Structures are given as C-alpha cells and as structure tokens.
Amino acid sequence: MNILLINLVLAAIMTGLIWTVQVAQYPLFRFLDVASLSTIHRQHCARIGCLVGPLMLAELTAAIALVVTQSGATSWTLLGLLVLIWLSTVLLQAPAHAVIAQAEQIEDATAARFVGALVLSNWIRTILWTARAGILAMAVAKQLPG
C-alpha cells in the first residue's frame, strides 16, 4: 500500500475521532458535577487513550516515512502539522486533562474553567487534523489515474 494512502487513512481516522470528541464528548463534561466529572473523565481518557495512543504513534511513524520516501514541501508540511498537533496535546490538552481528572479535589468554578479551556484549545487539534486529512486527500487524488 502506498505510504501516502496510509497517511490519509490514519489522518482520516484521527480526524473523525477528534471531531467526535470535540463536538460530542468534551462539551458534555460541562454538565457534570465535580464528583461525576472526575470519574467519567478518567473513564473517557482510559477508553479513548486505547484508541488514540496507538493511532497517533502509527500516524507519526507514517508521516516520518513519508518525509523519508517523498521528501518534498507537502510531506514536510504534513509532518509539521502533526508536530503542532503533538505540541498542542502535550502543552495544552494534557495539562487540562490532568486537572480535570482531579476535579473532585478542586472548586466547581476551577473545574469548569479547565473544561472550557480543554474544549477551546482542542479546536487547535481539530483544525490541524482536518487540514492534514484534506491535504492528504488532495495529494492522493492527484495520484489517481485519469
């Protein structure tokens, strides 16, 4: 299978997952009291992590392979978008998740603020993954015969 197509499949899966989380899951955290928030949030992280962790690693590996095999502006741009996604995850979403996981130990207003920050900052990843999938779709379409 073509490495470009592998990148597209992984980016499309991650784009679908991030839109689901962004629109359907994270906003629901706002409706939970702090005791429920901690419990449900930890379950969310454990369950989504089993999906997202391996997929993100596979996507990073595929993006690096694309740069190695087809080093050009597009492949470097795609890797750059992925680096930005990882930086956003490590610097913005992971710290918010760490606080939310301990919501029962903080004030309601603080928990609500961190949920809001998570929802808002996650738009970065949502937009970047969507852009990555779109660029990959166009690149794969260019390779199609006819």
Domain ranges, residue 31: 3-141
What pTM did the predictor assign?
A: 0.93
Number of domains in the chain: 1
Q: Is 146 part of any domain?
A: no
Q: Is 33 part of any domain?
A: yes
CB atoms closer than 10 angstroms to residue 72: 11
Q: Is 65 part of any domain?
A: yes
Q: pLDDT (tens digit, 9 = 90+) per residue, 72-129?
A: 999 999 999 999 999 999 999 999 999 999 888 888 888 889 999 999 999 999 999 9
